[in-house]
């Protein structure tokens, strides 16, 4: 169910509600809606009215986020912020459920992705699909995108200037889709989104809490599926890490991290506190105790 480039103005029915507590349940309740053919863009999804507790997300909120996502999709399609636009065939915005609880972030489009304008459609994408099915999910239930939206020539590594130009799009995607869990695939996405240079081999499989796109999420670093295709042992580790995802989606999100202003306010002396006794002021040389 892909929304075509020409039909991008209608990203279609975002899930009208999201469970605060029941991530996988919420995903399970997101039902497929009708197809509108085409090449790129997030899929149509419609929430089924379903029972169960959790935070109701109003249809108007979901529709407004969907509309903004369509605008972002159009902007990315025409983006010329870095030289990669000169060599790409199609920008690859990302695809999937525009109201997904689970989001995957890869590195950059490869040759096949560049041609189709869709993320992870080559061999690495096939493995991603298989691993999703093994945990009871489908590609249509999640949102998949990359750090870079344009293919680097010959699949070379993304350059710092390209990442800097493209990363605001990724943070906007997180802000608008509102996932609970963001899985980073490989070193580039992991280092960018954790803000930490530690390599994927050391951090993979252990969830972290981060604020991304103005929202507190679980971030789960995973090996890149392309690395898993090269090394059977890596594939097994990736499979084992995937198996932890459903429980993580179900887990209650931690409270938002305090902002710098909140920490400062917490540690600043309270204006209403009574002044310290005069002898203590004298101890610090602040008062005449004679
Ligand atoms: N590798 C990536 O990182 N992203 C894709 O979309 C495909 C392969």
- If you measure from the C-alpha of residue 21 to the centroid of ligand 1, how many angstroms do you get, rounded to a whole number? 30
Q: What is the average pLDDT across 107-111?
A: 98
Pocket of ligand 1 (CB under 6 A): 106-110, 113, 119-120, 122, 124, 146, 226
Choose one of 84, 93, 105, 107 to mutate for the ligand 1 pocket test, by most ligand atoms within 8 angstroms of C-beta: 107
Choose one of 111, 115, 124, 228 to mutate for the ligand 1 pocket test, by most ligand atoms within 8 angstroms of C-beta: 124
pLDDT tens string 28-60: 222 222 223 333 333 323 222 222 334 556 788
- If you measure from the C-alpha of residue 92 to the centroid of ligand 1, how many angstroms do you get, rounded to a whole number? 10
- Which atom, in ligand 1's list, is nearest to the CA of 107? 3
Q: How confident is the model at residue 62 (pLDDT cuts 50, 70, 90)?
A: confident
Q: What's the pLDDT at 126?
A: 98
Choose one of 92, 119, 127, 221 to mutate for the ligand 1 pocket test, by most ligand atoms within 8 angstroms of C-beta: 119
pLDDT tens string 148-172: 999 999 999 999 999 999 999 999 9
Q: Where are the alpha helices (DSSP H) in 136-194?
A: 160-177, 187-194
What residue's CA is closest to ligand 1, atom 7? 120
Q: What's the pLDDT at 44?
A: 29
Q: What is the average pLDDT across 180-190?
A: 98
Q: What's the pLDDT at 219?
A: 98
Of residues 16 and 128, the one with the higher pLDDT is: 128
Of residues 16 and 177, the one with the higher pLDDT is: 177
pLDDT tens string 196-241: 999 999 999 999 999 999 999 999 999 999 999 999 999 999 999 9
Angstrom distance (rounded) from CA 38 to CA 53: 36
For 150, the token pair is 């344009």
**Do residues 182 and 105 make contact, with C-beta atoms less than 8 angstroms apart?**
yes
DSSP state of 154: G
- If you measure from the C-alpha of residue 104 to the centroid of ligand 1, how many angstroms do you get, rounded to a whole number? 10
Q: What's the pLDDT at 59?
A: 80
- If you measure from the C-alpha of residue 227 to the centroid of ligand 1, how many angstroms do you get, rounded to a whole number? 11
pTM metric for this prediction: 0.76
In terms of average pLDDT, the best of 46-50, 175-179, 259-263 is: 175-179
- Which atom, in ligand 1's list, is nearest to the CA of 186? 3
Q: How confident is the model at residue 266 (pLDDT cuts 50, 70, 90)?
A: confident
Q: What percent of the chain has pLDDT over 70?
A: 72
**Which one, of 202, 238, 240, 205, lies nearest residue 219 by Cα?**
205
- Share the mean pLDDT of the chain: 80
Instruction: Report the side by side order of strands in the sheet with 215-222.
Output: 95-96, 143-146, 102-106, 181-185, 215-222, 208-212
Q: Which long-range contacts (CB under 8 A, 24 or more apart) does 196-202 make?
A: 200/224
- If you measure from the C-alpha of residue 247 to the centroid of ligand 1, how many angstroms do you get, rounded to a whole number? 25
- pLDDT of 20 > 50? The answer is no
Collapsing DSSP to helix, strand or coil, 47 comes out as strand
- pLDDT of 133 > 90? The answer is yes
For 213, the token pair is 């796109």
Angstrom distance (rounded) from CA 146 to CA 8: 19
- pLDDT of 244 > 60? The answer is yes
Q: Which domains does the chain have, with CATH numbers?
A: 23-255 (3.40.470.10)
- If you measure from the C-alpha of residue 122 to the centroid of ligand 1, how many angstroms do you get, rounded to a whole number? 8
**Do residues 105 and 170 make contact, with C-beta atoms less than 8 angstroms apart?**
yes
- If you measure from the C-alpha of residue 258 to the centroid of ligand 1, how many angstroms do you get, rounded to a whole number? 34
């Amino acid at each position: 169910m892909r929304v075509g480039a020409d039909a991008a103005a209608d990203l279609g029915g975002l899930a009208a509600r999201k469970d605060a507590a029941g991530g996988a349940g919420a995903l399970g309740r997101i039902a497929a809606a009708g197809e509108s053919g085409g090449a790129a863009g997030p899929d149509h999804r419609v929430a089924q009215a379903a029972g169960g507790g959790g935070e109701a997300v109003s249809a108007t909120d979901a529709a407004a986020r969907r509309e903004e996502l369509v605008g972002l999709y159009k902007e990315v399609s025409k983006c010329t912020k870095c030289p990669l636009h000169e060599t790409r065939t199609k920008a690859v915005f990302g695809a999937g459920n525009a109201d997904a609880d689970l989001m995957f972030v890869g590195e950059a489009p490869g040759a096949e992705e560049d041609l189709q304008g869709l993320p992870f459609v080559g061999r690495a994408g096939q493995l991603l699909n298989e691993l999703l099915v093994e945990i009871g999910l489908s590609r249509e239930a999640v949102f998949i995108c990359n750090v870079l939206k344009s293919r680097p020539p010959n699949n070379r590594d993304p350059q710092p200037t390209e990442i800097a130009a493209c990363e605001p799009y990724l943070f906007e995607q997180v802000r608008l889709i509102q996932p609970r869990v963001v899985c980073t695939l490989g070193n580039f996405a992991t280092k960018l989104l954790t803000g930490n240079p530690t390599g994927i081999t050391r951090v993979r499989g252990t969830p972290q809490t981060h604020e991304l796109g103005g929202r507190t999420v679980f971030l789960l670093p995973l090996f890149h599926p392309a690395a898993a295709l090269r090394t059977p042992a890596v594939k097994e580790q990736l499979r084992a890490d995937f198996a932890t995802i459903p429980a993580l989606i179900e887990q209650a999100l931690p409270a938002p991290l305090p902002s710098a202003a909140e920490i400062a306010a917490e540690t600043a002396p309270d204006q209403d506190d009574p002044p310290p006794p005069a002898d203590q002021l004298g101890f610090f040389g602040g008062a005449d105790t004679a």
